[in-house]
Structure 1
Amino acid sequence: METHRERRGELKIFFGYAAGVGKTSAMLKSAWEQLEKGRDVVCGHVEQHSRASVLEMAAELPQVPEKENRELDLDGLMARRPELAVVDELAHTNRPGGRHEKRYQDIEELLNSGIDVYTTLNVQHLESLCDVAASITGTIVRERIPDKIFDRAAQVELVDLEPEELRRRIREGDVVRESQIETALQNYFTLEKLTALRKLALRRCAERSGHAGKPERRKGAGEFRTEESILVGLSSSPSNEKILRAAARMAGAFGGRLTALFVETPETEAMNRENKERLRNHMHLAEQLGAVIETVYGEDVAFQIAEYARISGTTKVVVGRSGVKKNRFSLKASFSEKLTFYLPDIDIYIIPEQETAEAVLHRKKVLNEKLTSGDFVKSLLILVGATIIGKAFQSLGFGEANIIMVYILGVLVTAVATSHRVFSLCSSLVSVLAFNFFFTKPEYTLKAYDASYPVTFLIMFTAAFLASSLALKIKKQARQSAKTAYRTQVLLDTNQLLQQEKDGAGIAKTAVRQLMKLLKRDIIYYGASGGSLEEPLICPAGEDGRGRFGYLDDNEKAVAAWVYRNNKRAGASTSTLGSAKCLYLAIRSQGAVYGVVGIALEQGESLSAFENNLVLSILLECAVALEKEQLRQKREEAQAQAKNEQLRANLLRSISHDLRTPLTSISGNAGILMSNPLDEITRKRLYTDIYDDSMWLYNLVENLLSVTRMEDGTMHINMQAELLEELVMEALRHVSRKSKEHVIRAELPDDLQLVRVDSKLIVQVLINLVDNAIKYTPGGSEIVIRSRAEGGRVLISVADDGPGIPDEQKSRVFEMFYTAGNTVADSRRGMGLGLALCKSIITAHGGQITVTDNSPHGAVFTFSLTAEEVKIHE
């Protein structure tokens, strides 16, 4: 996980209203001032069409050489890492083959790496103002930058020049070539156009200054909003760009929040690749303009926009109005009329849009694509079938009402079986004609003798068409509902499955599987560890996904690594490293990146708006789950550290008390022996006390060392076949001298019992258990060691007939620093290490140790060991 982000560099834009006002010159002069102040300044790129004096000023600065194709060497600048980089022309479009499509993306990467940047920009290159500038100059510029780049700049310096002075520079040949001077002055650099562009630049700078540093107002508890909330519609219409820019300018003027809403209808899936690509570009434009993209679903676009506007608290709605004239005989309300009816209390701004001949041609082309020959054949067969059934009914003497119902049923079947309303309309009309031709007198003509037949035909046509329209609408809604339900279920399942996972690997695999299930595409996941990406996990949608597409080459891994470092999307369908086979997205939350997901896309393919929203939702849930998992691990580590600290404190407290008592006794007895003449009996008693205290200290130190080795895993267990009787006898030779006050015996079977153990550790277990029994039973008590074979195990028990252990203490006697009868760990000569060590040793041997009651009183400690098979060789 990426936990630390270095300082972000500061961007300074030298802003002008036209070429030639002196932006590059002002930028270079400011760079020279910074160089003279001792800052590390380098020149990365200056446009070659600049004046000779400007190029000389740039050449004298420290340089990072450009690439052979005259483009900015981004990697060279990143490797050089100056404090300040000078990069001309912020809105420039890079030549194919570079990392980014636009230069402003190169500059964003420099800023993210902590490098300050000086750059230049003209007002007509701002995305939200390009339409306005085009209306002034008559030329639409293709190189544009998102307004957020301009608004987020640390400084914007307006480089101003009187229009007349600029025209004088043009005449002197400082701005354009000598052969183009007169053309430029007459067409682009007219006084009126320059004055209008200058006003536009001044107003944009004023707007930026007015909004800079303005705090957001809170809405409710923890929600942020501004005074105005502006909603704009998203569509694949070629004129939608103009509407989006108008809405963005309105949001900027009001200081409001901009939301771009896309209404997915049943016809959305039928859009061709050209329309889908245009819609994706419009969504990208909306994001660049600072809009939040939202998606809703329904057939009535105006109603869905109105409902979203009411629910979200929208204050202004911006929509387009087609220049196509409405048919005077049409009873259907226009989109703007319906929206006005649905939203009587909200301001609606209608932007005129002229439908181009290309758009009309495209709409006709889409209609023709939907009218397929297959649907025509289906409609014809259904009509023929209805006619045959009608003739059968007529021969059986059924009335005309039954035959009419057969034709209406046929129209309904046609509506369900075909994909366009035209077939339902035609089927309704042809059914009326067929009924008239085959079943009204005179038959096999389109005449009718009965005067009521025209009314019958009209009612039949109306009923058939309405029924077919409703059937078609229900079919589309059912299809849309099924798709929405499936996607919603995938999201719900993702949430539940992620919560069930217990580790980061499981969370990542679940998210990848859900993405593959949703998108039906190959998915690649790169986990993050130690500041870099791990080996990828591929979840192929088909059996041959890994080998067919080659997702693991160095180029793909480099794109994924770039996404991880920069916390931005890249790869297929993006303007950054777009030659990749996959679209790479960061799994991120709260600015931290937990991994990267790659989604395989075909050439020219992109995710739909709805798919993109669902993918981002799943990735966010995955990031939140990974964040919780890391927090849980940190919490467990903190708890383990706190527990270790508590154990260390208990150990120090216990040692400080329990070592002081025997050492005081030893030193006191030794002092008495050294200073006073004593009789033989007294000296022997003092020697015995000194020996007992020394052995107690020895056993204490042995237990401490063993516990330490068991806890940190450094104890080496040497498993060998050992005779159990020898282990028991060896343990009894080392038990406490106070064992003479007790009756200790071993009741072992006559058969040889071999166990596979570390003999030294098991002897220590037996010594601790016997010493524990001696310590907690009165003098004269009986202590018995028994063993028995049970399956492939040998059970060894140490029983005493003392007071026993209460039931509530049995579950804790094997805990470290717990002593029965006194829960304080620093009670005299009772550190509570012996039984804890026994449990650790037996567990390391693959066995278990338990404590039960002895009959009629006392306690029995039982542990199991692995039996070794006895082989007898004759």
Structure 2
Amino acid sequence: MEQEKRKSPEELLDAIKRQEQGAGRGHLKIFFGYAAGVGKTYAMLRAARAAKQRGVDVTIGYIEPHSRPDTIAQLQGLEQLPPLQIEHKGIRLREFDLDAAISRKPELILVDELAHTNAPGSRHAKRYQDVEELLRAGIDVYTTVNVQHIESLNDMVASITGITVHERIPDHVFDGADQVELVDIEPQDLIDRLRDGKIYREAQAQKALLNFFDVKNLVALREIALRRCADRINRMAEKVLQAQQDGYYTDEHILVCLSSSPTNAKIIRTAARMAGAFKGSFTALYVESPQQAVVGEKSKRRLRENMHLAEQLGATVETVYGNDIAQQIAAFARVSGVSKIVVGRSNAQRKYVWSKATLTERLAAAAPNLDIYIIPEMDGSRYKERVKRRLDNTFAWADVWKSLLILALATAVGVLFNYLGFSEANIITVYILGVLITAVVTRRRIYSLVSSIVSVLTFNYFFTDPYFTLSAYDKGYPATFLIMFLAAFITSTLAVQLKRQARQAAATAYRTKILLETNQLLQKSHNAGEIADTVGGQLTKLLKRDVVFYLAQGKSLAAPQTFMAMADGDGAAYTGDNERAVANWVFKNNKHAGATTNTLGGAQCLYLAVRVIDKVYAVVGIAVGAEALDAFENSIMLSILGECALALENDTAQREREQAAILAKNEQLRANLLRSISHDLRTPLTSISGNAGILMANGEDIGREKKRQLYEDIYDDALWLINLVENLLSVTRIEEGTMRLNLTAELMDEVITEALRHINRKSVEHTIVVQQEQEFIMAKMDAKLIVQVIINIVDNAIKYTQPGSTITINTTTEGKMVVVTIADNGGGIPDEAKARIFDMFYTANKGIVDSRRSLGMGLALCKSIVNAHGGEIAVLDNKPAGTIFRFTLPLEEVTLHE
């Protein structure tokens, strides 16, 4: 028996993450039909009533008005939200109230007509976008849709019925539904229902029977609907198969070329169906050429619509730049592993025999290994992009005077050459040079073209016989004039193309430079604020538009930062309540919205989420107005936002790591403290308890000296515990940041005397010497804490030096600091221990001293106290033997009055 393959931990974590992400999302059920009247709404209402009987909280969000008694009867007993009333052009429209539905938040809501287009002024342009927001809010949705409303089937349905449906939903909405229930009846039964008036009124029914509702159309639509449901089941099975088999993959990669052609939408849909049939990846490529700079606004808008359509159908939209479109497509295909290219028939047809090679022919020559699919177009006529020249708006007297001056200089040089006896060929060359210079120094091609014609006429007027006329006696002059004109025309054309390409190359290089510069600047940014400043400034430089940046702050957005393209710009228009509301919607829903989109399109800015997968780190608004970004700008902008998202993620991860390190350090501190206390407190407490027990049980029988010894041991252990508790309290205050210094001017000899009063009783076994170079040395300190420092250091010397050793406390001044040294002549501290001697819980001598082990807190506490006073502490070797602890405190000047 073959052993079942187990998933790796990473795969299990990914699966768990996907389940968690989907846990809070609502479920979508679509009641699917092939035509109006098959009973979708009736079936949806009946299912909703059954759910309510099971105890589900059901609400009707919106149901299209019906005059069908059976459908109306199903509405009884179901809660129904009032429709939203919207005034548009004097007409009151009824729409689904999305905000009311989210506020009500039932378990299940019914929203009829998924493909409906909302009235202007609604949050979303399409109802399926309302449904997606309901699902993100965790609300289950029942809805209805017909086969002709699915985007990829639109052309197929139009070819059958002759009717183009404008209300459509993306395929991913249908395929992503949790359930699809096909509501099906026989076509003839549907026609009978229509004739009986159960679907439309009599006038509408007769019109429908003549146009849409014939048996042939309905049978074809029913077949498409059944096939689409089967395709959906196959896709679901493929996903399960991919999840279960690591080796399951396909190497098919479908590429469709984007353009502003009216027929490009059909080609995109066909390519999307091919990608689904081949189970391959799908890419839509747009090649931006120099000619695109002068296309009309209508063509630009159509191109944006085609790009949006490709995205809706699941394509990855890519943009490249180049003059030779076929070469750019072939190069992209080779790099990306494309296996099939889909083009329209117009790109595969030559209008004339002498016409240049078609895109398909050039593609086949550039990439012979690619499969090229030619798709028939609805309109067989060849589409040619109309270029809007707008010459009247670009007329400039400066260019006219430049052209005239160059022509005059060329004529003057020609007169000189003629006087010197040069041939006419030299003079012609001068005029061609003049035309070339004109093409370089003027902004529009028209000036070089006119200059070509005028140069021929001027040459004829001044330098051909008869002179100063436009006639010519020599039979060869017409050929000379023609060659001269063609040479001037061709050179000027090439010069204009080179200028255009140079401008485009400069623009491309500038955009690429900004992208690289952004990457470098983000690497130097240290926090989220600096990242926001960097990205906002770079986007302003790239797009020449105002930018507003919102950083995420917990579950909301922080105050906006504005970056103005003009120095004197005012960002108040982009930070009003309406604009902030759009930005907050983008943050909560992780979707772009605002200007040029179908969601909250009335905003002044286009708002995009700066995100990594489902985590939104910021929201960026671009002041685009009604004019959308061009394809290349949009591509670079998305790349910058991607870099920004990664930088913000890294910044967040770094802060989380730092917090985790602090928590780990504190946890380690607590663990060490508890571990040490559990051992070290038990020893003195056991000693105190034992000695006290001896005194209580045998007090009368114990001699005087033995009793005194027991009392001294109890006192020493109690004093040790008191010092330990003092250190513990001080460490706690330091770790919590609650230690406050009560700074006063104190005499050093008094502080040292006070500290020596609390020294361990074992100090009698050592010689303690106090030295001070001046009679009065005052330091600014918290006396109680400095007493504790001296106690800890002297106790440490007593503990780790042999009995009879000398401990010297010396106080001097150096500049504006008081220097205190505490030296002993014991065994000293090893060099390797000096680097860690002031670390918490570190002890240089691991042995037991007086039955008690040091916790290693005293010196660490001393360092914290001295540093808090603005001083320094260090450990040095005492020559010839021993150790010196040296610390400094701020000197307080002493003023003596006579």
TM-score (norm 1): 0.92
Change (3 A) 1:368 1:39: same
Deviations 1:128-154 (A, max 9, x none): 222222222222222111111111111
Which one of 41, 52, 60 corresponds to residue 77 of structure 2?
A: 60
Which one of 608, 612, 616 corresponds to residue 585 of structure 1?
A: 608
Change (3 A) 1:872 1:566: same
Q: Separation in 1 of the partners of 2:30 and 2:694? A: 92
Q: Separation in 2 of the partners of 1:742 and 1:617? A: 74
Q: Which amino acid aligns with 2:60?
A: C
Deviations 1:677-705 (A, max 9, x none): 34433333333333222222221221122
Say whether the 8 Å CA contact 2:747–2:777 is kept in structure 1: yes
Which one of 598, 604, 611 corresponds to residue 621 of structure 2?
A: 598
Q: Separation in 1 of the partners of 2:459 and 2:103? A: 83
> C-alpha displacement at 1:555, in angstroms?
1.4
Deviations 1:561-582 (A, max 9, x none): 1111111111111111111111
Deviations 1:538-588 (A, max 9, x none): 2222334445x5222221111111111111111111111111111111111
Change (3 A) 1:161 1:568: same
Q: Which amino acid aligns with 2:749?
A: E
Q: Which amino acid aligns with 1:749?
A: E
**Does residue 31 of structure 2 align to residue 31 of structure 1?**
no
> C-alpha displacement at 1:71, in angstroms?
0.9
Change (3 A) 1:379 1:690: same
> C-alpha displacement at 1:351, in angstroms?
3.1
**Does residue 565 of structure 2 align to residue 541 of structure 1?**
yes
**Gap runs ≥5 in structure 2:** 1-17, 86-92
> C-alpha displacement at 1:156, in angstroms?
1.6
> C-alpha displacement at 1:816, in angstroms?
0.9
Other-structure match for 1:7: 24
Residue pairs, 1:627-646, within 5 angstroms = 627-646=649-668
Which one of 106, 115, 119 corresponds to residue 95 of structure 1?
A: 119
Say whether the 8 Å CA contact 1:324–1:355 is kept in structure 2: no
Residue pairs, 1:317-396, within 5 angstroms = 317-322=341-346, 328=352, 330-353=354-377, 363=386, 365-366=388-389, 372=395, 378-396=402-420
**Does residue 492 of structure 2 align to residue 468 of structure 1?**
yes
> C-alpha displacement at 1:8, in angstroms?
1.4
Q: Which amino acid aligns with 1:79?
A: S
Deviations 1:295-335 (A, max 9, x none): 00101112211221222222221122439985647452233
Other-structure match for 2:58: 41
Question: Residue 70 of structure 1 aligns to a residue in which SS?
Answer: strand
Which one of 728, 733, 758 corresponds to residue 734 of structure 1?
A: 758
Question: Residue 80 of structure 2 aligns to a residue in which SS?
Answer: coil
Deviations 1:69-118 (A, max 9, x none): 42111111112211211111001011112111110000011111111111
RMSD, aligned α-carbons: 3.1
> C-alpha displacement at 1:43, in angstroms?
1.0
Other-structure match for 2:648: 626
Other-structure match for 2:678: 656
Which one of 843, 861, 870 corresponds to residue 846 of structure 1?
A: 870
**Gap runs ≥5 in structure 1:** none
Q: Separation in 2 of the partners of 1:250 and 1:381? A: 60
Q: Which amino acid aligns with 1:570?
A: A
Question: Residue 75 of structure 2 aligns to a residue in which SS?
Answer: helix
Question: Residue 122 of structure 2 aligns to a residue in which SS?
Answer: coil
Deviations 1:622-664 (A, max 9, x none): 2222222222333333333333333223222222332233334
Say whether the 8 Å CA contact 1:568–1:586 is kept in structure 2: yes
Residue pairs, 1:235-246, within 5 angstroms = 235-246=259-270
Deviations 1:395-439 (A, max 9, x none): 455554543332232222233234555654554454344334433
Which segment drifts farther, 510-519 or 703-712?
510-519
Residue pairs, 1:295-310, within 5 angstroms = 295-310=319-334
Question: Residue 597 of structure 2 aligns to a residue in which SS?
Answer: coil
Which segment drifts farther, 498-507 or 692-701?
498-507
Say whether the 8 Å CA contact 1:323–1:355 is kept in structure 2: no
Question: Residue 646 of structure 1 aligns to a residue in which SS?
Answer: helix
Other-structure match for 2:101: 77
The number of residues matched between the two structures is 869
Other-structure match for 1:22: 39
**Does residue 803 of structure 2 align to residue 779 of structure 1?**
yes
> C-alpha displacement at 1:256, in angstroms?
2.7
Q: Separation in 1 of the partners of 2:351 and 2:203? A: 53
Say whether the 8 Å CA contact 2:258–2:307 is kept in structure 1: yes
Other-structure match for 2:89: none
Q: Which amino acid aligns with 2:215?
A: L
Residue pairs, 1:559-574, within 5 angstroms = 559-574=582-597
> C-alpha displacement at 1:339, in angstroms?
2.4
Other-structure match for 2:191: 167
Other-structure match for 2:636: 614
Change (3 A) 1:433 1:729: same
Q: Separation in 1 of the partners of 2:595 and 2:274? A: 33
Q: Which amino acid aligns with 1:637?
A: Q
Q: Which amino acid aligns with 2:648?
A: L
Deviations 1:163-191 (A, max 9, x none): 22222122111222222332221122222
Say whether the 8 Å CA contact 2:406–2:434 is kept in structure 1: yes
Change (3 A) 1:308 1:224: farther
Identical columns (%): 57
Q: Separation in 2 of the partners of 1:518 and 1:505? A: 20
Change (3 A) 1:479 1:364: closer
Other-structure match for 1:503: 527
> C-alpha displacement at 1:50, in angstroms?
4.8
**Does residue 430 of structure 2 align to residue 406 of structure 1?**
yes
Question: Residue 749 of structure 2 aligns to a residue in which SS?
Answer: helix
Which one of 154, 161, 171 corresponds to residue 147 of structure 1?
A: 171
Which one of 293, 296, 313 corresponds to residue 269 of structure 1?
A: 293
Q: Which amino acid aligns with 1:551?
A: Y
Q: Separation in 2 of the partners of 1:684 and 1:790? A: 46
Say whether the 8 Å CA contact 1:231–1:318 is kept in structure 2: yes
TM-score (norm 2): 0.90
Q: Separation in 2 of the partners of 1:209 and 1:395? A: 89
> C-alpha displacement at 1:354, in angstroms?
7.0
Question: Residue 794 of structure 1 aligns to a residue in which SS?
Answer: strand
Q: Separation in 1 of the partners of 2:67 and 2:168? A: 20
Change (3 A) 1:869 1:598: farther
Say whether the 8 Å CA contact 1:818–1:825 is kept in structure 2: no
Residue pairs, 1:780-819, within 5 angstroms = 780-819=804-843
Change (3 A) 1:56 1:668: closer
Say whether the 8 Å CA contact 2:294–2:388 is kept in structure 1: no
> C-alpha displacement at 1:59, in angstroms?
4.3
Say whether the 8 Å CA contact 2:295–2:387 is kept in structure 1: no
Which segment drifts farther, 280-289 or 439-448?
439-448
Other-structure match for 2:687: 665
Say whether the 8 Å CA contact 2:31–2:40 is kept in structure 1: yes
Change (3 A) 1:224 1:424: farther
Change (3 A) 1:824 1:194: farther
Q: Relative contact order (C-alpha < 8 Å, sep 6+): which is higher? A: 1
Change (3 A) 1:380 1:328: farther
Q: Which amino acid aligns with 1:63?
A: Q
> C-alpha displacement at 1:780, in angstroms?
3.0
Q: Separation in 2 of the partners of 1:824 and 1:592? A: 55
> C-alpha displacement at 1:125, in angstroms?
1.2
Question: Residue 118 of structure 2 aligns to a residue in which SS?
Answer: coil
Deviations 1:178-226 (A, max 9, x none): 223322211222222222222222222222222223139989x999964
> C-alpha displacement at 1:812, in angstroms?
0.6
Question: Residue 296 of structure 1 aligns to a residue in which SS?
Answer: strand
> C-alpha displacement at 1:58, in angstroms?
2.2
Q: Which amino acid aligns with 2:881?
A: H
Which one of 545, 558, 561 corresponds to residue 521 of structure 1?
A: 545
